[in-house]
Chain A
Amino acid sequence: MKLSKLLRTGIAALAITTGATAAHASTMRLSETGSSLLYPLFNLWVPAYTAKNPDVSITTASTGSGTGIAQSIKNLVQIGASDAYLSDAMVKFHPAMLSIPLAISSQAINYNLPGISHLNLSGPILAGIYMGKITKWNDPAIAAANPGVALPDHVIIPIHRVDGSGDTFIFSQYLAFSDKAWGNTLHYGTSISWPAVAGGIGANGNPGMVTALQNNPYGVAYIGISFAKQVAAAHLGQAALLNKAGNYVLPTPETISDASSSVANTTPPDERISIVFTPGTNAYPIVNYEYAIVNSKMTNKKEAAAVRDFLTWAVNDGNAMSFMTQVHFLPLPDSVKALTLKQIDSIK
Chain B
Amino acid sequence: MKLRPFRLSVLILSLFIPAALAAVVLFLVAYSGQAIIFNGLHFITGITWNLGDLYDNPVMVRGIQVPAGAEYGILAFVVGTLASSAIAILIAVPLSAGTAIFLSEAVPELERASRSVLPWLPPIRPVLAMLVELVAVVPSVVFGLWGIAVLVPFIGHYISPTGNGYGLLAASIVLALMITPIIASTLYDALCQVPKENRESAFALGATHFEVVTKAMIPMVRTTLMGGVVLALGRALGETMAVLMVSGGGINMLPTSLFSPISTIASFIVSQLDSAESDPTNMSVRALSEIALVLFLITLAVNAGAKLLSSGAFNVRKRQ
- Residues on the B chain within 8 Å of A203, using CB: 166, 249
A204, CB-defined interface residue at 8 Å: yes
B277 contacts A193, C-beta separation under 8 Å? no
B164 contacts A194, C-beta separation under 8 Å? no
A199, CB-defined interface residue at 8 Å: yes
B274 contacts A190, C-beta separation under 8 Å? yes
6 contacts between A and B (CB under 8 A): A63-B274, A67-B274, A90-B278, A162-B251, A201-B164, A201-B167
- Residues on the A chain within 8 Å of B53, using CB: 187-189
Given A89-B58, A199-B164, A201-B167, 16 more pairs with CB closer than 8 A: A87-B55, A87-B278, A93-B280, A162-B271, A163-B271, A164-B274, A165-B274, A189-B51, A190-B278, A194-B252, A196-B252, A202-B250, A204-B245, A208-B245, A211-B148, A217-B163
Chain A minimum-CB-distance residue to B162: A199
List B residues 231-289 near A (Cβ within 8 Å).
244-245, 247-253, 261, 263, 267, 270-278, 280-281
* Among candidates A89, A157, A189, A190, residue contacting B280 with C-beta atoms closer than 8 Å: A89
Instruction: Give Cα distance in the complex from A190 to B261, angstroms.
Output: 20
Instruction: Give Cα distance in the complex from A195 to B48, angstroms.
Output: 9
A191, CB-defined interface residue at 8 Å: yes
A200, CB-defined interface residue at 8 Å: yes
A70 contacts B164, C-beta separation under 8 Å? no
Q: A189-B55, A191-B272 are in contact. Are A66 and B248 (CB under 8 A)?
A: no
Chain A minimum-CB-distance residue to B58: A89
Which of A64, A155, A201 is packed against the most chain B CB atoms within 10 Å? A201
* Among candidates B252, B261, B278, residue contacting A193 with C-beta atoms closer than 8 Å: B252
List B residues 145-173 near A (Cβ within 8 Å).
148-149, 152-153, 156, 162-167
SS class, residues of chain B in contact with chain A? loop
Residues of A within 8 A of B (CB): 63-67, 69-70, 84, 87-90, 92-93, 155, 157, 160, 162-165, 187-191, 193-196, 199-204, 208, 211-212, 215-218
Q: A63-B274, A162-B249, A162-B271 are in contact. Are A216 and B148 (CB under 8 A)?
A: no
Instruction: Give Cα distance in the complex from A212 to B166, angstroms.
Output: 8
Instruction: Give Cα distance in the complex from A188 to B270, angstroms.
Output: 20
A191 contacts B249, C-beta separation under 8 Å? no
- Residues on the A chain within 8 Å of B97, using CB: none
Chain A minimum-CB-distance residue to B70: A193
B50, CB-defined interface residue at 8 Å: yes
A193 contacts B50, C-beta separation under 8 Å? yes
- Residues on the A chain within 8 Å of B272, using CB: 164, 191
B226, CB-defined interface residue at 8 Å: no
Q: A67-B277, A164-B271, A196-B252 are in contact. Are A201 and B261 (CB under 8 A)?
A: yes
A202 contacts B251, C-beta separation under 8 Å? yes
Chain B minimum-CB-distance residue to A89: B280
B56, CB-defined interface residue at 8 Å: yes
A216 contacts B163, C-beta separation under 8 Å? yes
Which of B48, B57, B271, B278 is packed against the most chain A CB atoms within 10 Å? B278
Q: How far is the CB of A346 from chain B (nearest CB, A)?
A: 22
- Residues on the A chain within 8 Å of B167, using CB: 201
B263 contacts A162, C-beta separation under 8 Å? yes
B 33-68 binary contact with A (CB < 8 Å = 1; else 0) = 000000000000000111101111110000000000
Instruction: Give Cα distance in the complex from A88 to B270, angstroms.
Output: 26
B165 contacts A215, C-beta separation under 8 Å? yes
B69, CB-defined interface residue at 8 Å: yes
Chain B minimum-CB-distance residue to A207: B148
- Residues on the B chain within 8 Å of A199, using CB: 162, 164
